[in-house]
Amino acid sequence: MRRRIARFAVVALCLGVASVCIPVVAGAAAQPALSVRAGVLVEASSSQQLYAFRADEELPIASTTKLMTALVTLERVRDLNTVFAQNSYRSASVDSQIGLEPGERMTVSDLLTAMLVPSADDAAEDLAYNVGGRSVGRFVAMMNVRARELGLTRTHYATPIGLDTPGNYSTASDLVRIATYLLRHYPFFARVVELPRARLRSGSHPRIVVNRNDLVGQVPWITGVKTGHTLGAGYVLVGSGTRGGMTLVSAVLGTASPASRDANTMALLDYGFAHFRLANPIRADEVLARTTVNYRTGLHASLIAAHGVARVVARGTVLTVRVQAPHRLAGPLRRGAVLGTATVLANGHPIASTPLLLARALSAVSPLTIAAQFLTRGSTLVVLVVLLVAAVGLAVLRRERARGKESGRLQQA
């Protein structure tokens, strides 16, 4: 648990409305002009959309279909050393393949690598056939169920490979969501898709495979993810890159050539890294206020953020944190009691907030402690002295009056 007061960052904000990124800062850089049928750019940890062009249009997606093939396989096969035997499938000579022979045995790890790095169709068929219980059709049904579970409402599969097939389509937005999910939850997947080349050790003989995503290995910060190409889909690339602690994931669909695919991907990612950053104005458990406690001299109760606030922001706008909390507290109060709010403001406008929680419980104060503190206060002592002097004076006055009356009675007698 961090015990520090939040420091405010100088940053800027980009909010998404519908499918368009609307810069808050006047004069912010224009979005890149792309030659694509559809494209999208998001920040991986928050899924904030930084660019979108026809991002929800249903289009053929070629071998980026294999992202879902990988996800279903990783969720169903826990031991990647499991060995599968190839069925009778044979790829066409023009298709991407590693030349698996019917009955050839290969580990799931190597099959996934072959499917993701050189985009081998025969490896995808092998996985689908075996994970589907010796039925590719059953595996495709699993793919569609998983798409619905992930909320990919504009995605449907008819093949585990991605060949031009009626009913096999997705969107730029959905492709990025699948890729982001895989990168976040499956370290094996993240490691494989950033390999420029790999060695497959199982099967009838060792194989060296080369990544069809030629940005991997050429650009140091590119980390994946998956290429695709058919006549119907054109050239497709789901890309990712990490710079300055921020990971962006992009998708470009329907480009005209591998060079255009790469250029459009780089234009999107460069745009994102040049004009945005990931800001953390509030961190979980950060102390944002210290409040005095009634009848406990010198004690301050710490109020901490219930959760962190992270936002992708454009460069230039000021982020501040406004804290609303009581000035004094009185026990008993349980640990974690909600006692205020911290609000993040961008250029004075609220964009996020988090409750403030009491870091440690406060017990009730006993009546004796309250009385003792009351009696030992300086102002209380002054009042008591004044009252005592007044009482003594009053007693003396009453005594003198009594003596005077007694003296008068004696004189009369």
Residues catalogued as catalytic: 63, 66, 119
Residue 25 tokens, joined? 């800062």
Contacts of 149 (CB under 8 A, 6+ apart): none
Sheet holding 300-305, edge to edge: 319-324, 338-346, 349-358, 300-305, 287-293, 328-329
d(CA 142, CA 129): 12
Q: Is 19 exposed, middle or buried (0-12, 13-18, 19+ CB in 10 A)?
A: middle
Secondary structure of the chain in HEC code, one letter for each residue: CCCCECCCCECCCEEEECCEEEECCCCCCCCCCCCCCEEEEEECCCCCEEEEECCCCCECCHHHHHHHHHHHHHHHCCCCCCEEECCCCCCCCCCCCCCCCCCCEEEHHHHHHHHHCCCCHHHHHHHHHHHCCCCHHHHHHHHHHHHHHCCCCCCECCCCCCCCCCCCEECHHHHHHHHHHHHHHCHHHHHHHCCCEEEECCCCCCEEEECCCCCECCECCEEEEEEEEECCCEEEEEEEEEECCEEEEEEEEEECCHHHHHHHHHHHHHHHHHHEEEEEEECCCCEEEEEEECCCCCCEEEEEECCCEEEEEECCCEEEEEEECCCEECCCECCCCEEEEEEEEECCEEEEEEEEEECCCECCCCHHHHHHHHHHCHHHHHHHHHHHHHHHHHHHHHHHHHHHHHHHHHHHC
